[in-house]
Amino acid sequence: MEASGRSVTLNPYIISTFRSLVEAIIPPHLKQKDYIGTVHVAGAQELHVYEYVIWILDHSIAFPVKEQFNFVNGSMSKSTAELLDAGAARLIQKGQIFYPLNGTAYPSGGLFSALSPIDRLRAITIIERLDINLEYLSIPYKNNPVLVRNMMDVLNELPMFCHYSEWPAYGKTRLLSPEYRRVEYFPPGWFQVQYPGPSFGYRDFRGFLAIIQHRKVDQ
């Protein structure tokens, strides 16, 4: 079954790669508060956003289609991690990294996670520009430039949607099938941007700029 919930990979290579991805896109930061000094604002990694990205990748292609891609036993998250590594390899090969590689932050990761955060985004840019050999990618990216390019937007969009939605607050239920998830606390991403969450209504009614006069319905 495709989306049987619970299943998110335990493969440390895949996890490291997506941890390093979401860290580069939504890093933690310090925010100046008027009177109390600075506060630490959690980044996407702390909110486990990479797990959502992996879950979505591995639940997004329906079984009959996977079968025809010859991808039944394949994992979309694994192929995508390898795609990111291909971009990293190319960036290194071109001698364009800004900062030296660092294998200690993500010991189980590949080249992508050894790059500095900004270089990871630059590796994504290289992939986006299709400056990699598409022949050597794994299915479904192999010789599929449209999917490769599209995925670079998706890999940015998914962490953003997740981080600033209620997903992190699903807590222990976050990797269950959606029908079984329960919000356990106020979502941190909402707190960060001061969104009050689901509402019954607001009273900020400022009148009407114009009114439509309807004709009678009956002809």
Partner 1 sequence: MSNQDVIVIGAGGGGAVIAKELGELGLTVLVLEAGPWYGNKKWPNPNLQPGGVSSSTKDDLDVTLYKQLLNKFEMNMNDLVSGRFRWGPADRNRSQWFRHANQKGVIWQCSGVGGTTQTYTANCPRAFPAAIDKVWPLSYRELVPYYEKVEATLPVNFAATTAKEELFYYGAKKAGWNLIPTLDVKGPGYRPQPNAILPPNENITNLNITDEQLSWMEGCTLAGHCINGCPHGPSIDKIAKRSTNVSYVPLALNTGNVCIRPNAFVIEIITENNPSKGLHAIGVNIRDTWTGEQEELRAEIIVMAAGSIESPRLWLNSGLPDNPWVGKGLVNHYMDWVSGIFDEKDLIPILGTSDINPYVGNTCAARFDYPGLGTLQSVGMSPGLTASFYELSQSGYSFLNKPEINDPWDIKGRLYGYELKESMDSYRKTLNILVSTDDEVDQRNGITLDPLLRDENGFVPVVSYQPTKQSRRKRGQLVNLAADLLRKAGARKVIWTNWPAGMMIHIESTMRIGFVVDQDCESFQVKRLYIADNSVHFNSLGGVNPTLTTQALATRTAEKLFKKYFNRML
Site for partner 1 in 92-111 (CB under 8 A): none
Alpha carbon distance 181, 176 (integer Å): 6
Binding to partner 1 (CB under 8 A): which residues in 28-67? 29, 31, 41, 56, 59-65
Shortest separation between residue 25's beta carbon and partner 1, angstroms: 6
Alpha carbon distance 54, 18 (integer Å): 7
Shortest separation between residue 107's beta carbon and partner 1, angstroms: 24
Alpha carbon distance 86, 152 (integer Å): 13
Q: Near partner 1 by CB under 8 A, which window of 21-29, 82-90, 91-99, 105-113?
A: 21-29
Helix (H) or strand (E) holding 128: helix 117-128
172 vs 206, beta carbon nearer partner 1: 206
3-state secondary structure of 39: strand
CA distance from start to end of the chain = 54
Which DSSP state fits 200? Answer: S
Q: Residue 219, interface with partner 1 (CB under 8 A)? A: yes
Q: Residue 72, interface with partner 1 (CB under 8 A)? A: no
* CB neighbour list of residue 94: distance below 8 Å, 6 or more residues apart: 126
Q: Residue 160, interface with partner 1 (CB under 8 A)? A: yes
Q: Residue 163, interface with partner 1 (CB under 8 A)? A: yes
Q: Residue 202, interface with partner 1 (CB under 8 A)? A: yes
Alpha carbon distance 19, 9 (integer Å): 13
Q: Residue 184, interface with partner 1 (CB under 8 A)? A: no
* Binding characters for partner 1, 109-138, by CB under 8 A (x = yes): --------xx--x--xx--xx---------
Nearest to 188 by CA among 41, 19, 10: 41
Shortest separation between residue 105's beta carbon and partner 1, angstroms: 16
Question: Cα–chain-centroid distance for residue 185?
Answer: 21
Shortest separation between residue 124's beta carbon and partner 1, angstroms: 8
108 vs 155, beta carbon nearer partner 1: 155
Chain position carrying tokens 């022949």: 135
133 vs 157, beta carbon nearer partner 1: 157
